C-alpha cells in the first residue's frame, strides 16, 4: 500500500508539472483535435474538384454522354479543348487529366471494333493520378455499357465482375486518415511525454530531490507511466468521440472501450521506450534526434501507412515482433471491422509481453542513471 501511495502521489506531481508546461499542453491539444481534422481532410488522396479536359474529335452522342459523366464534387466541369492545347495544359498544371476521344469512336464501337481513348495524366501528384486513372476507367466502361444496352447491342464481356467494398463502401480516405493519425499520435506523444518528464527532472535538479526520498526507481517510473498514459487516454477518447465521430462523421464499427483498453497496454510499452531513450540522452535536443531515428521506422513499417504484406519477408517477420505493428493491427480490427476480444487477444498478449520486457530493461537503465547521478 505504501508503494501504491507513492506511485499515486508522484503521478499527481507529474500531472502538475505537465500543467505548467505550456508547450506540451499545446502539442497535446493540437495533436488530438485540429491535427486529426487537418490530417483527415487536408491529406486526403480522394478526388475532389479535380481539373479535367476532353478533346472530342468524335462529336457523337456517346462522346457527349462521356463528357457529362464527369460530375462534381469529384471533378470540375470538363473543358473542351483542341489537341494542340494538351501539352500546354499539362505543363502548366491547368489540367490533371486530359481525355482524347478519337474520330469515329462511336461508329467503330457499334461496328464491333475496339476503338481506344487516350488518357493523359499529370502524374506529379502520384496518389491522385492512380486514383483518377481507375476512376476514369470505370466511368468510361459504365457509359459504354449503358450506351450499348440502350440500343440492344451487347459488348463481349467474359465475366460480370461485381465489386463490393467492405467497411468503407465509398472508399472515403477520411475514414482511414483520421483514425490512423490518432494511432500515430498515441505512439509519438507517449514517448515524448515520458521522455521529457525524465529529462525535465534531470535539468531542473528535482531528480536529486527524489533520490533522497524513500522511493525506488520502480515507483518513479510507474508514476510517470500512469500519469502520462492517463493524459493520452483522455485525449484519445476525446478525439475519437468528438473529432472523429461527431465533427468528421466517421463511423466507428467496434467497441471504443475495448480499443482504449488495448491502447492502455500499448502505452506501457511506449512509456517504457520514452524512459529508455531519456536514460540514453542527456538533453532534449539529443532526445529529439534519437526520437526521430526511432519513431520514423516504427510508423512507416508498422502497417499504418503501407500494408505490412508489401514489405520484404524478413522485414515482415521482424516488424511483427514490434508492439507498434500489433497496436496498428488490433486498432484497425476493432475500429474498422468491429472485432471483439476473442479476435484481438493475441495482439493484446504480444504487446503486453514485449512491454513488460522493455519496461524491465528500461528500469535497469534508469537505476544505473540514478546511480551515476549520485
Query: Does the pLDDT at position 158 exceed 50?
Result: no
Query: Does the pLDDT at position 366 exceed 70?
Result: yes
Q: Is residue 164 part of a domain?
A: no
**pTM of the predicted protein model:** 0.77
- pLDDT for 185: 92
Q: Is residue 163 part of a domain?
A: no
Mean pLDDT, range 315-340, rounded to an integer: 90
- pLDDT for 208: 64
Residue 3 C-alpha from the chain's centroid? 39
- pLDDT for 197: 85
298-310, pLDDT tens digit by residue?
888 888 777 788 8
Which long-range CB contacts under 8 A does 352-359 form with residues at least 24 apart? 352/265, 352/268, 354/269, 354/321, 354/322, 354/323, 355/265, 355/266, 355/268, 355/269, 355/272, 355/323, 356/268, 358/269, 358/272, 358/273, 358/276, 359/221, 359/225, 359/268, 359/269, 359/272
Handedness of CA 201, 205, 207, 209 (dihedral sign): negative
- 107 and 246 assigned to the same domain: no
Mean pLDDT, range 58-72, rounded to an integer: 90
- 225 and 76 assigned to the same domain: no
Residues 6 or more apart whose CB falls under 8 angstroms from that of 25 comprise 18, 19
Domain assignment of residue 127, given as a range: 52-150
Q: Is residue 160 part of a domain?
A: no
Q: Is 311 exposed, middle or buried (0-12, 13-18, 19+ CB in 10 A)?
A: middle
157 vs 264: which has the higher pLDDT? 264
Q: Is residue 161 part of a domain?
A: no
Which of 89-93, 148-152, 189-193 is predicted with the least confidence, judged by mean pLDDT? 148-152
- 192 and 337 assigned to the same domain: yes
| Percent of the chain residues past pLDDT 90, beyond the cut | 33
Tell me the DSSP string of 179-237. Answer: HHHHHHHHHHHHHHHHHHHHHHHHHHTHHHHHHTSS--HHHHHHHHHHHHHHHHHHHHH
336-360, pLDDT tens digit by residue?
888 999 999 999 999 999 999 999 9
Backbone phi and psi for residue 123, each to the nearest 5 degrees, phi listed first: -90, 10
159-177, pLDDT tens digit by residue?
455 667 777 777 777 788 8
Residue 25 to residue 265: CA distance in whole angstroms: 23
DSSP E strands in the chain: the ranges are 52-56, 79-80, 97-101, 118-121
Count of structural domains within the chain? 2
Please give the mean pLDDT across all residues of the chain: 85
- pLDDT for 155: 54
Mean pLDDT, range 102-109, rounded to an integer: 90
Residue 221 C-alpha from the chain's centroid? 30
pLDDT band with cut points at 50, 70 and 90 for residue 364: confident
Amino acid at each position: 500500500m505504501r508503494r501504491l501511495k507513492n506511485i499515486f502521489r508522484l503521478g499527481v506531481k507529474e500531472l502538475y508539472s505537465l500543467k505548467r508546461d505550456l508547450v506540451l499542453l499545446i502539442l497535446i491539444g493540437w495533436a488530438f483535435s485540429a491535427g486529426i481534422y487537418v490530417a483527415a481532410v487536408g491529406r486526403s488522396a480522394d478526388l475532389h474538384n479535380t481539373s479535367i479536359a476532353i478533346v472530342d474529335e468524335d462529336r457523337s452522342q456517346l462522346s457527349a454522354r462521356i463528357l457529362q459523366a464527369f460530375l462534381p464534387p469529384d471533378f470540375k466541369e470538363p473543358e473542351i479543348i483542341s489537341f494542340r492545347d494538351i501539352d500546354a495544359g499539362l505543363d502548366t498544371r491547368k489540367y490533371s487529366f486530359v481525355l482524347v476521344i478519337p474520330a469515329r469512336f462511336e461508329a467503330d464501337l457499334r461496328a464491333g471494333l475496339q476503338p481506344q481513348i487516350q488518357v493523359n495524366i499529370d502524374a506529379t501528384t502520384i496518389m491522385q493520378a492512380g486514383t483518377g486513372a481507375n476512376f476514369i476507367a470505370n466511368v468510361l466502361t459504365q457509359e459504354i455499357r449503358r450506351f450499348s444496352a440502350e440500343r440492344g447491342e451487347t459488348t463481349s464481356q467474359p465475366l460480370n465482375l461485381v465489386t463490393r467494398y467492405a467497411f468503407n463502401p465509398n472508399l472515403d480516405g477520411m475514414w482511414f486518415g483520421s483514425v490512423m493519425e490518432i494511432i500515430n499520435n498515441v505512439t509519438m506523444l507517449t514517448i515524448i511525454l515520458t521522455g521529457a518528464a525524465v529529462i525535465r527532472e534531470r535539468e531542473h535538479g528535482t531528480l536529486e530531490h527524489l533520490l533522497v526520498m524513500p522511493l525506488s526507481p520502480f515507483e518513479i517510473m510507474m508514476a510517470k507511466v500512469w500519469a502520462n498514459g492517463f493524459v493520452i487516454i483522455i485525449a484519445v477518447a476525446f478525439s475519437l468521440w468528438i473529432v472523429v465521430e461527431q465533427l468528421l462523421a466517421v463511423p466507428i464499427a467496434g467497441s471504443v472501450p475495448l480499443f482504449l483498453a488495448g491502447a492502455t497496454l500499448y502505452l506501457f510499452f511506449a512509456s517504457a521506450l520514452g524512459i529508455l531513450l531519456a536514460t540514453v540522452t542527456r538533453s532534449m535536443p539529443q532526445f529529439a534526434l534519437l526520437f526521430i531515428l526511432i519513431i520514423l521506422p516504427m510508423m512507416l513499417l508498422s502497417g499504418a501507412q503501407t500494408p505490412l504484406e508489401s514489405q520484404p519477408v524478413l522485414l515482415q517477420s521482424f516488424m511483427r515482433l514490434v508492439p507498434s505493428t500489433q497496436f496498428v493491427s488490433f486498432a484497425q480490427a476493432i475500429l474498422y471491422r468491429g472485432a471483439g476480444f476473442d479476435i484481438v487477444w493475441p495482439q493484446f498478449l504480444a504487446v503486453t509481453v514485449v512491454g513488460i520486457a522493455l519496461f524491465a530493461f528500461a528500469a535497469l537503465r534508469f537505476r544505473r542513471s540514478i546511480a551515476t547521478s549520485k
